[in-house]
Copies of this chain bind each other. A is one copy, B any other.
Amino acid sequence: MSDGAKSPRITSIIENQLFRRQRSIRQKQSIDVPDFEKTYAVIIFSDKAKLRHCQDVEKIIQEFKVLTTLEVVSKTEKYLYLSATTEALLHFADVAELSKLTITGSMQKFNCDCISDYLLPGMTPADIVRECEGPVLIKDMIKPAIMSYIRNGIIEDFFPLHNIEYLDRFAFDWRRSRLPIEDICNYFGSSIALYFGFTEFYTKALIFPAIFGMLQYMWNVNLSLVCSFYVLWTTIFLELWKRRCSGYSYRWGNIEMSSLDKPRSAYHGVLKPDPITGKMMLQYPMRYTYLQMYCVSYPVVLICVAAAAYFALYQFQIEAEVLADFGPDSLLLYIPVIVQSILIAIFSWAYEKLATFLTDQENHRTRSQYDRHRVNKLMLFEIVNNFFSLFYIAFVLQDLKQLKYQLMMQLLIFQIVCIAQEIGIPLMAVVRQKFVKYMHKEIDEGIKSNVTDLARYEQCFYEAGLDQYQSTYEDYLQMCIQFGYVVLFAAVAPFAAFGALINNIFAMHIDLFKLCNIFKRPFGRRAKNIGAWQSAFELLSVMAILSNCGLLYLQPNVKGFFSKIFPQMPDITFILFEHLLLGLKFVIHKVIHERPRWVRIALLKADYESDEAYKKLKKFKAQNKID
């Protein structure tokens, strides 16, 4: 499960994964092998697992009515394939209280006693459970029971298998104008689907500032207009995304997720009856969480953020000193920059560990909460890391020329790193494929004759060698920093939006390609919104008002412009303008409702239906004197 436990077998096969998987698809399509029973997930035992252990695990899992097939290929290679009948899955879905669309058009918690209510026209019972939900339901059922085997290293890995036919839907297609978000949700779960939904929405929204940026460049638009444009654009974009997002999460049955949902697996506490359902559940007093958050975590975070800001300032000072001591041509000028970059990299790495540790200590109940608080900490730090020096140059040094230069340099480096990550990694994987094509070792013929289902075995063998997909964190962070470059200094960087637009069009498709081809399939994760990233984008959008207004203020001709309107008080007029923009942002934020009307109506309708049912049940009980 952990990186340390990776056996040499696995690392040796990483290289030819892509090629082999493609071959196995061809094989399957051409030879038309009898379709094996759909395998949802596979458990891989480590070298030290004895056959006895494997059989124990199998027995435990079978108690949950999960179908298992134990495949002992050799002494070191043991697989346990997990599958389930449709009935079992539907039962799991009922227990997990998944929300599903009913034929009356409202979302209700799934109930396996009346499957027909959930069978929309053209659906079979097997369609009720989404493609990504099968593995998750099985995992949620069995994981607590096999946790001890995972902890002591007998189980090395546990992951869902790719559905090779379904993956075809994500093949790249130039004619397609939008990403197949619904399919992504079906296959990867709502958390990843929301990431793609957001990327797509953001990329489309970037068209406006891209055009505006060109107009701004050509006609030298008044900066106060630029400020106003970005206030309107960022606010409306973020508000509309919230609406879009709640539409998604309604359709995907996540809109009623709350911080009082079932706890994540790392949550600790004491078993007590849950105040909502009355079932025994882990409970941990909120006051300890708050205490940890406000008295430990956030003070530490603020100290780190301040340290990062100080680091950035320090660089300027050192540079100035070196410049004074050795002159502008000395090669020594590069030393502070290099030392600085290395220190920042180390500091960032350490900070990420620290943030994770602090968030662990806070012991949040749900995964969404945990992620939100972790990302909050990281995001604050990254914003300071990336933008503080620009703010310093702009408003303390007040050097617009250096600002433009520094901004361009940073943006360039950032885009190169992005492109390297986005294109380089898959490209390298493909190149490696081509290379190993001539040297890959085939699976032993002896083993081939040993296994019952060769295609399944091959798929497991190859997919086990893929990297684990970590989370959407890196991808969101990239987008967030990019958004910062686009909006924070829009007044002096009119082309940033255009660059971001071009970059994102490619990045979207490449992200999807990577997810389908070079990572193990992740267990689908539910999410009702993009969590802390919404706040991060909103924070940047507020900072953009301040920074752009600041830039406006620094323009000499603008100062003259304002003092022409109200000669007595140019400064107050200016502050008034900035506050009006802040106010405008707030008013738009209030005026646009977080949820579209149809979602509100649908939610009320579902409530109404279940209230009516409650009433009927009570009536029925009263009439028949049942208790």
Q: Which residues of A contact B (CB under 8 A)?
A: 97, 108-109, 111, 113-114, 117, 256, 258, 260, 275-277, 286, 395-396, 546, 568-569, 571-572, 575, 579, 582, 597, 600-601, 604-605, 607-611, 613-623
Contact = CB atoms under 8 A, between A and B. Distances in A.
Contacts of A619: 111, 113-114
A546 B604 CA distance: 40
Contacts of A621: 114
Nearest to A109: B611
A301 to B, nearest CB: 13
A352 to B, nearest CB: 23
A613 B619 CA distance: 12
A359 B572 CA distance: 35
Contacts of A597: 286
A626 to B, nearest CB: 10
Contacts of A276: 601, 604-605, 608
A610 B613 contact: yes
A258 B615 contact: no
B275 A608 contact: no
A258 to B, nearest CB: 7
Contact of A604 (B260, B569, B579, B613): B260
A29 to B, nearest CB: 41
Nearest to A290: B591
Contacts of A277: 605, 608
Closest 10 CB pairs of A and B: A113-B619, A613-B614, A610-B614, A114-B618, A610-B610, A114-B622, A613-B617, A111-B615, A617-B617, A276-B605
B605 A109 contact: no
Contact of A601 (B275, B600, B615): B275
A108 B275 CA distance: 17
Contacts of A109: 611, 614-615
Contacts of A569: 395-396
A614 B258 CA distance: 21
B568 A601 contact: no
The DSSP consensus for interface residues of chain A is helix
Assembly stoichiometry (copies): 2
A313 to B, nearest CB: 13
5 contacts: A109-B615, A111-B614, A114-B621, A396-B572, A575-B575
Given A260-B604, A277-B608, 8 more contacts: A111-B615, A113-B618, A113-B619, A113-B622, A260-B601, A275-B601, A396-B568, A613-B618
A610 B611 contact: yes
Contacts of A546: 579
A182 to B, nearest CB: 23
A569 B553 CA distance: 14
Contacts of A97: 611
A569 to B, nearest CB: 7
A615 to B, nearest CB: 5
A275 B605 contact: yes
Given A111-B615, A113-B618, A277-B608, A600 B286 contact: no
B614 A609 contact: yes
A601 B281 CA distance: 14
A25 B625 CA distance: 46
Contacts of A609: 614
A607 to B, nearest CB: 8
Nearest to A260: B604
A621 B286 CA distance: 41
A148 B592 CA distance: 39
Contact of A113 (B572, B604, B607, B615): B615
Contacts of A616: 617
A114, A277, A569 interface centre (most CB from chain B within 10 Å): A114
A188 to B, nearest CB: 28
A113 B623 CA distance: 8
A236 B608 CA distance: 35
B622 A260 contact: no
A569 B391 CA distance: 14
